[in-house]
A and B are shown apart, each in its own frame.
Chain A
């Protein structure tokens, strides 16, 4: 459902050109749980942002569901995000003036056939704390809100950038468990970016990124459950 063809991303910093991505080729099938691994600075976030339509490649093509979104203008990209993409960040990026429920609602508000907010909150195990403000929630709980927010729009794909990065081991595992479960039960495609190689064990497909290039792609034929991994 997603295809990156020879994607380049360069940043001009004064006289120096930084190439965050240098010809990435990638194919992700519908319903897959993909983990992107790589050292810091290799271009993981950049790649994810390009897939999600919050950034544009310098060169190359991005194909989403058979449509080439590379040359979409700002408005078209916004509509693409609205309909097709759920995001989860390392820093949860919740809106502090909205309660957990409202943070989900504000996303639900965007699509015509959104999922039921209460149901989604139940899926991420946050029903009881739904009327709390972000400042009153723990990191793990905030990340659950972020997952619920991504989920509620009922997007075909969810992109997660270091979703466990600011969480402790146990909480991190629980969050991964929730995501994998959603992936399996509802068939939503996940691309999860991390530099934690232990997480690779739960994936259907592992993409190794190095210096802005895909080093190798490994199909994992027997992924383990989230609560079985260790790091």
Chain B
């Protein structure tokens, strides 16, 4: 004979088996939540550990200063500053590498005999003439390949000795580039042995410093700046180094995402479990009463009903953790491949698995506890009289319904659909909440796509109105401008200055790219509202990049430039999308720097001849770099692949969440009303008519859910989006009408497909059987 416990266990398994779909859907939601949390958080930790380890092991710079020239006596004085641990001077100049028949702009850096700071990680080969591993892979270069590098008027030829990674360039950021982070196809970092560069007549232009005490960093920096005085062009600390800062912002966003995203799922999981369990308990009131009547204790009943959420939670957590681990491996690998990292650190992080399992089990248990407690408190006498149909009485609903039906003149069967929304308010609330969550997830993903699309359209449609940008070696190339202007197929040319500057005010410093131009046609700066900015006197700065300086229009500030420290007036502050450039007129630039010239030429050319013209210009003397908008667009496309994969991934999760949650509530509602549907079938209503009424109900819920969901989604998207704000770039938030349309369509697709299994239930229903049952 079976014991009481065994019978309950058999009952448990049978219950789960009869409600398979619902249990699977609930478990699935929870599983998604655990999976996302686990994979995201583990990836976050992996990346964090990887960055830290790389920075640590390579002795990353604490301070970096670039100056017009750094002399040996400067270095001696810097070494003597209190708190300085290591000092390493180096040469860093813009140049180019000749690869596969093409000159690619490059940053050429000297490699000292004895590396003390920012030590390179050698992936292949031996220390010596080196290029970044990713660059080599992209162009099919290996060690021993001969390579020609142009810098400072010298043509340097050597065989590649090493393929390397550098902590400075985990993420490469090219100031003034049209693409956000340049692809290896358009930008190179090359290391040339220091002796070779010195013998070519190059002088130190940067000094890297490590300090003994982190707290003294600012103080040391100030002293170094004092040593170099007016010659300083640029400086930063380890925290403000652009690449590292971008990585950190990205990582912080990742961490926030890995908590916020799954929290959504957990919330829905709580509601879903609640809906599922309370339905089971409601249907089993009679059974519970009988069990209690024959002698099962309250505790036994409580524990019996707790087994359901426990089972759901346990199963979801275990599978979720496994999937999460696999997900974290994929995610970390993808990320690391996307960046310039030699390896990745993956520690076991048992605490994350434990946390996932605890949260994953506790979440359903929480709602399960409420329901199981109700079950254990059942009034035996009442419940034994049989389950009574829940009451439905006149109230707001009927009045509301009367108004609706007067307006729409809808058939009674459709009105029952409306009344059902009020009949089971909890269920309606859960459905609405699910739609709101689904809408939010979709919109939260799409807001990035739209905003990015918008700035890209602005950037490539209006800002970069040129076809070719020519960066020059110096500022004295009027001849070159004439030559280009006269070239066949060139329609229009415009000279401009493009140079990076750092602004200082009250001890804080912020760097930016300065564009000086007379703004005729080809290079325009727009603010976030899409208005063209035409500077007159002074420099117009971007609010984003100057956030910490609280600049005031009209004041004079110090700026560090390639011509040393200068004074300039703040001509205004604007929100400038994307790369947050500062802008001024060529005349004002000349006024503050004394330089009468330009270092960049933008060209509008005959569309069919852009490539050919760019090639010709590349061959000219005095040209450092030629980039075309076509190439930039192409490499942005490559960059976006990763981004879109991520968005698609989160859209899919949003849709599956919505589907699982709405499937649950819909199925519950249909199963609960089986008798009603059977009765309608008995009366002669066709399955089609009943299905239509259900669709009507779902559509109505969908409309109601969207009415609440869209504003809520907008608000959460806004909060989410602004939490990603950075000083390095500015993305105005935007949602296109087509995205709203897409969201609305997606919600209806989800709502209606979630209904589909239920409609099958109706057409297959055994009317004879259902109408015969006393509700059990």
Contact = CB atoms under 8 A, between A and B. Distances in A.
The answer to whether A binds B is yes
Contacts of B94: none
Interface stretch (B262-270, B439-447, B766-774): B766-774
A106 B392 contact: no
B684 A134 contact: no
Residue of A55, A97, A98, A136 with most chain B CB atoms under a 10 A cut-off: A97
B144 interface: no
Interface string A72-112: 00110011011101010101011111110010011101100
B649 to A, nearest CB: 42
Interface string A124-151: 0000000101111000000000000100
A228 B126 CA distance: 114
A81 B684 contact: yes
A54 interface: yes
Contacts of B775: 91
A87 B389 contact: no
A78 B420 contact: no
B682 A87 contact: yes
A95 B679 CA distance: 8
B684 A83 contact: yes
Given A97-B419, A97-B420, A107-B683, A54 B412 contact: no
Contacts of B390: 96, 135
Contacts of A153: 683-684
A49 interface: yes
A45 interface: yes
A136 B388 CA distance: 12
Contact of B683 (A74, A75, A91, A106): A106
Interface string B730-751: 0000000000000000000000
Contacts of A149: 683
B82 to A, nearest CB: 83
B417 to A, nearest CB: 9
A81 B683 CA distance: 6
A216 to B, nearest CB: 26
B416 interface: yes
B684 A133 contact: no
Nearest to A149: B683
A136 B771 contact: no
A98 B391 CA distance: 11
Q: Interface size class for chain A?
A: 35 or more
Contacts of B415: 102
Interface string A28-70: 0000000000000000011001001011000000000000000
A89 B771 contact: yes
B684 A97 contact: no
Nearest to A95: B676
Contacts of A79: 684
A14 to B, nearest CB: 16
Interface in B335-381: none
Contact of B393 (A89, A105, A106, A136): A136
Interface in B673-694: 675-676, 678-687
Interface in B309-324: none
A40 B420 CA distance: 36
Nearest to A80: B684
Given A91-B774, A93-B679, A133-B391, A110 B768 contact: no
A110 B683 contact: yes
B685 A110 contact: yes
B620 interface: no
Nearest to B401: A97
A133 B412 contact: no
Interface residues of B, number: 35
Contacts of B685: 78, 82, 110
Interface string B606-641: 000000000000000000000000000000000000
Contacts of B79: none
Given A109-B411, A133-B393, A97 B681 contact: no
Nearest to B393: A133
Nearest to B398: A99
Contacts of B771: 54, 87, 89, 91, 93
B76 interface: no
Interface in B376-414: 388-394, 411-413
B768 A75 contact: no
B682 to A, nearest CB: 5
B292 interface: no
A7 to B, nearest CB: 14
Contacts of A94: 679
Contacts of A83: 684
Nearest to A89: B771
Contact of A105 (B412, B419, B681): B412
A97 B389 contact: no
A98 B679 contact: no
A15 B644 CA distance: 56
Contacts of B394: 99, 131, 133
Interface in B407-441: 411-413, 415-416, 419-420, 423
A106 B417 CA distance: 13
B416 A95 contact: yes
B392 A135 contact: yes
Nearest to A91: B774
Contacts of A98: 412, 416, 419
A149 B768 CA distance: 18
Given A95-B676, A133-B393, A110 B420 contact: no
Nearest to A79: B684
Contacts of B412: 98, 102, 105-106, 109
Contact of A97 (B423, B678, B686, B774): B423
Given A81-B684, A96-B423, A109-B412, A55 B392 contact: no
A82 B683 contact: yes
Residue of A49, A52, A82, A110 with most chain B CB atoms under a 10 A cut-off: A110
Contact of A78 (B676, B681, B772): B681
Interface string B221-238: 000000000000000000
A47 B684 CA distance: 19
B772 A45 contact: yes
Interface in B99-124: none
A135 B393 CA distance: 8
B709 to A, nearest CB: 26
Contacts of A131: 394
Contacts of A106: 412-413, 416, 680, 683
Contacts of A81: 682-684
Given A78-B681, A95-B679, A109-B411, A54 B768 contact: yes
B726 to A, nearest CB: 54
Contacts of B683: 81-82, 87, 106-107, 110, 149, 153
A220 to B, nearest CB: 28
22 contacts: A45-B768, A54-B681, A54-B682, A54-B768, A54-B771, A74-B763, A79-B684, A81-B684, A83-B684, A91-B773, A93-B678, A95-B679, A97-B392, A97-B416, A98-B412, A106-B683, A110-B685, A133-B393, A133-B394, A135-B390, A135-B391, A136-B393
Interface of A: 45-46, 49, 52, 54-55, 74-75, 78-79, 81-83, 85, 87, 89, 91, 93-99, 102, 105-107, 109-110, 131, 133-136, 149, 153
Q: Which 9 A-B pairs have the closest CB atoms?
A: A82-B684, A135-B391, A97-B419, A55-B768, A81-B684, A49-B768, A54-B767, A93-B679, A106-B412
Given A96-B391, A131-B394, A135-B388, 7 more contacts: A54-B681, A54-B768, A87-B683, A95-B416, A109-B412, A134-B392, A136-B391
